C-alpha cells in the first residue's frame, strides 16, 4: 500500500510539472487517459502478434480492415470454385435469381433497387442469366418500355439444386469458429449491417468526401 501511495504521489508531482495549475480532478482524468492508452497499446500489440506477417497498424480499425479485406478475397475464391461449371456463376447471381423467384414478374429496376450492386452490374447479371436460360423476360402489358422477369423451368431447378452449394460455401466461410463464436460474429455483423444500411440509404448518391464530412458533423 505504501509503495502504491509513493508511486501515486510521484505521478501527481509529474502531472503538476506538466500542468502547474492542474487540480486533483484533472489529475484523475489524466490517469484514466494514460490507463486507456496503455490498454489500447496492449490490445494493438496482441492483435499484431496474431497477424501472419508484420503489419504496422495504428488502430484496431486498421487490423479489422485488413482481415475484412482478406475475407472478401477468400469469399470470391471459394464461391468461384463452388460454382465452377454451373449456369449460375456465383452467390450474387444466385441472389438475383432467388429474388426473381420470390418476386415473379418484377422488373430489372426492381431487382437493382433491392441490390447493393451498381444498376449496370445487376443488369449484366440479368443478361447472363437470360442467356443461360435461368431467367426469361416477358413484355409488360402496362409499360411497353419495361419487361417482367420470371425464372424458367430450368432456372427453378438450378436454383434449388444450388441452394445446397450455397450452404456449403457458408459453412466453409465460418471455418473453425466455435458455435459461441459464430453467434458473437453474427451479432456483430448484424449491428454493422444496420449501421451501413442507414449510411447507404442516406449517402448512396454522395461521394466519399461529402459522406465523411456529414458523418463527422
Specify the CATH number for the domain of residue 117.
1.10.10.10
Domain presence at residue 162: yes
Count of the separate structural domains present in the chain: 1
The pLDDT value recorded for residue 140 is 73
Domain presence at residue 52: no
Domain presence at residue 65: no
Distance (Å, rounded) from C-alpha 184 to C-alpha 217? 31
What's the helix, strand, coil split of the chain in %, to 5? Answer: 70, 5, 25
Distance (Å, rounded) from C-alpha 82 to C-alpha 129? 18
Domain presence at residue 182: no
Domain that holds residue 100: 86-176
pLDDT along the chain (217 residues), means of 10: 53 63 63 56 81 82 90 94 93 94 92 89 95 90 79 94 93 95 96 91 86 75
Q: Using the 8-state DSSP alphabet, how is residue 23 labeled?
A: -
Burial class (CB in 10 A: 0-12, 13-18, 19+), 142: exposed
Distance (Å, rounded) from C-alpha 212 to C-alpha 125? 31
The pLDDT value recorded for residue 56 is 78
The pLDDT value recorded for residue 210 is 82
Burial class (CB in 10 A: 0-12, 13-18, 19+), 150: middle
Domain presence at residue 130: yes
pLDDT in tens, 144-202: 677 899 999 999 999 999 999 999 999 999 999 999 999 999 999 999 999 999 888 88
Domain presence at residue 92: yes
Domain presence at residue 107: yes
Distance (Å, rounded) from C-alpha 18 to C-alpha 34? 14
The pLDDT value recorded for residue 123 is 94
The pLDDT value recorded for residue 9 is 57
Domain presence at residue 9: no
Amino acid at each position: 500500500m505504501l509503495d502504491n501511495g509513493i508511486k501515486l504521489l510521484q505521478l501527481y508531482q509529474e502531472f503538476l510539472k506538466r500542468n502547474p495549475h492542474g487540480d486533483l480532478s484533472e489529475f484523475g482524468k489524466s490517469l484514466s487517459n494514460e490507463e486507456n492508452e496503455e490498454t489500447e497499446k496492449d490490445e494493438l500489440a496482441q492483435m499484431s502478434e496474431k497477424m501472419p506477417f508484420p503489419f504496422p497498424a495504428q488502430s484496431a480499425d486498421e487490423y479489422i480492415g485488413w482481415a475484412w479485406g482478406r475475407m472478401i478475397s477468400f469469399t470470391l475464391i471459394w464461391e468461384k470454385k463452388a460454382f465452377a461449371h454451373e449456369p449460375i456463376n456465383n452467390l450474387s447471381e444466385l441472389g438475383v435469381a432467388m429474388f426473381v423467384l420470390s418476386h415473379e414478374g418484377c422488373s430489372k429496376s426492381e431487382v437493382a433497387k433491392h441490390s447493393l450492386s451498381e444498376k449496370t452490374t445487376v443488369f449484366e447479371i440479368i443478361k447472363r442469366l437470360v442467356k443461360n436460360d435461368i431467367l426469361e423476360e416477358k413484355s409488360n402489358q402496362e409499360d411497353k418500355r419495361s419487361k417482367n422477369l420470371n425464372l424458367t423451368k430450368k432456372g427453378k431447378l438450378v436454383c434449388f439444386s444450388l441452394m445446397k452449394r450455397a450452404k456449403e460455401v457458408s459453412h466453409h466461410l465460418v471455418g473453425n469458429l466455435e458455435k459461441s463464436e459464430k453467434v458473437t460474429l453474427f451479432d456483430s455483423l448484424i449491428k454493422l449491417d444496420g449501421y451501413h444500411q442507414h449510411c447507404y440509404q442516406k449517402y448512396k448518391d454522395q461521394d466519399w468526401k461529402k459522406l465523411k464530412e456529414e458523418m463527422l458533423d
